[in-house]
Structure 1
Amino acid sequence: MAVVVESKKACTVNPLKTSQPLGASYAAMGLDACMPVMHGSQGCTSFGLVLLVRHFREAIPLQTTAMNEVTTILGGYENVETALLNIRRRAAPKIIVLCSTGLTETNGEDIVGHLAMVRSRKPELNDTELVYVSTPDYVGAFEDGYRHALTAIVKTLVKPLPTVHRQVNLLPGCHLSPGDIDELREIVSAFGLNPIILPDVSRSLDGHLSPVWRGTTLGGTTLDQIRMAGGSAFTIGVGEQTREGAQTLESIAGTPFEIFERLTGLEPNDRFLQRLAQLSGQAVPAKYRRQRSQLVDAMLDGHFYTGGIKAALGAEPDLLLAIGSLLQEMGADLSVCVSTTTSASHALLPASTVVLGDLEDMERAATACDLLITHSHGRQMAARLDKPLMRVGFPVFDRIGNAHRCQIGYRGTMNLIFEITNLLIEQIVHRHPADWVLPPSPPPQQSRL
């Protein structure tokens, strides 16, 4: 169990974490025909929008209530009403997710009361679902905002229904990419189960060219599917951040659940497939038995390079646990672990200490490490320390293909091992080129004719 230590610096120098409103908005982007709205100033929204666009390289639907100095003092009801009406008229979303910011939370606005008043005054909004998420950006981090949004979506939109056998809910954490969620869907469907994924960014942020354009999200979990989640026979969450949403679903619809702390690595995937086999009554398909043997071989090949290395990681809690646990299983020492917020995941991390801090904390402690793992804001740190950097998490803006990276399941874990190992090999070749001279080619065989 890792001991959690909070950095006592007076200010953040090189930020590791991003804000709660951005995490909540990201969750909303996994809903079909949805418009996430940040209730705050235009700057709050524009900075988050830039990060999302640079990471996914896609058009991102994100709106703001555009609070200014006057409305911050006198109250932002008119801004909320105007924003909702304009969005309804121009984009006609089926769902609007309103996320608060530090500005409006500090002001102490009654947003729930605002939305109730808008409903009574403007009946044209009756065909649009409104979901409010409290996400002050002066506390918590990206993962917290995502967690709160998932819970609010379930609490607002899910109703109890008769149980549909072989229908299961999948609640993916924000550390899973669209490619990860596609892999998750494929695995569950291979057992003959019908998954409802909430939220599903694999249908909205997977980098596809849509034949139509609309101002809202293009794909994701539909409103009908969200409502159908109340009739599922079981709920599976991936990441500790999904526990609150799964518990809310259980309290509303009585749906039993199980949370898998990670799906990166051998043992958690064994447990996951065993659970799916139990739920479906079917044996594990031969395809995944083959993939498991390939993963074991990849772990054998890769541990010659990862065994004994010192790694420094900076990530959101569930991602830190997923990658850190795999590295420890591959023989690495988790010398430096820096995270963004408190989480039950830290208790499961095979490290001595987790620091809640920034990338400066990570840089100061990582001078003797062999590998750095964090998002793209760690690239200057890697250059100063002359260490290899593996980019993970959000944002990754100096590489393309982030939507299609897969790091879960047997196949995704194998890809992750190859990525880490090849990065280490490249560093060895760079530092010791003489040790990597290709051996001379064998002499050609003489012909017997």
Structure 2
Amino acid sequence: MTAAREHWGSRFGFVMAAAGSAVGIGNIWRFPYTTGTNGGGAFLLIYLAIIIGFGLSVAIAEMLVGRAAQRNPVGAFRTLGGGAWPLVGYGGVLTGFVILSFYIVVAGWTLAYVGFMASGSIHTTDAGQLSQVFSGFVADPVRPILYSGVFMALTAWIVVGGIAKGIERWNKILMPALFVILLALVLRAVTLDGAAAGLGFFLKPDFSKVTAETFYAAIAQAFFSLSIGMGTLLTYGSYLSRHEHLPKATLTVAMVDTSVAVLAGLMIMPAVFAFGFDPSAGPGLTFVTLPAVFASMPLGALFGVLFFTLLAIAALTSAVSILEPMVCYFVDEHCMSRRKVVIVAALVCFALGIPASLSFGIWSGVTIGGRNWFDLMDFLANNLMLPLGGLFTALFVGWAWKKATHELSNEGSLHLPWAPVWLFVLRFLAPLGILWIMASALLA
């Protein structure tokens, strides 16, 4: 006999956990740069419209499948759809293994940089020297792997505690801490001399920069930011009460996620402009440009430690949510103990992360289809596996699951006059948008 299914202890706990899943490293460094180079405030308006009209619909659909079935991704599609639909769930579980294998590598870097900032070893404004430090660190065959192992162990430690005593408990601590650190950094950034130029770069609408690429960038950011397509939202939804007001809860999660992204822009861009650094440094903005920025300001070491702690927290809450669907699958479908599954899954992800880490060093010349292991895993996950997961979830709820709107309304107890529009989005707009993401990425 299977044990009674755990549920979230409170709506606040669920929102913090789901928001923690959505808030990741990409929110902190990628969103501000993408906004600034795609029209600033114009991009923000487009992004918010897509979140509401596109991303939110698919997020609701994914969580609805989990809540209705009260099962893991595979079990949910088997229960509600049958036939070949469980393959969508298997895809989500597999996607988790792929993503976590390279995500823990970058997350390990954030842990290392907390120590670098605290020790003062990278306290310099010389971008060339900082670039050498970063390149030398990621190419090291040992240290990055050790840091990724520490990060994986932290993730496993939280997940092994279960829903209420593990994931919910720690998200209720980590997410408020993230907001406190983020707000402190925003306050410091916007009060710097010259911060106004960065605020203008980030917020001022420039419709001359709006092209088809802007809409693609906004759709991709919304889709990936909300953690759609890998079974995370479905699994978290499976721990919800059947009486939860799902649309309202999902909207709250989207608002928290978007708020973090916008605040990150208000933190990073004013500081970068205030000290005359390049806002278009891409990934280097995090590990090269920003340390130089912190070295330029009073109490820079302190703010640097806070920033990379913020990144580590964002990475940890996301990693926890990525690991949970795998664990939920083996616990539900194979009646395995949570502790055993977590340990084995964590070890597998860590092992897969080793070649991803070595891709920046001694294995950088080993390629498959022109990509090293890290880039290959990143490409497969972001351009194929996640979009396919979101696509089939939208098609399942929009076309195959006839009781979707009845379930969404809590069996008729909620008045949802917009439900037909939601179905229209899932049936037509969401699939077209997702196919556009895939085609744009594959043809680039």
Q: Same fold (TM over 0.5)?
A: no
Name the structure with the higher helix share.
2
Name the structure with the higher strand share.
1
Q: Give the TM-score of the pair, scaled to structure 1.
A: 0.22
Q: Give the TM-score of the pair, scaled to structure 2.
A: 0.22
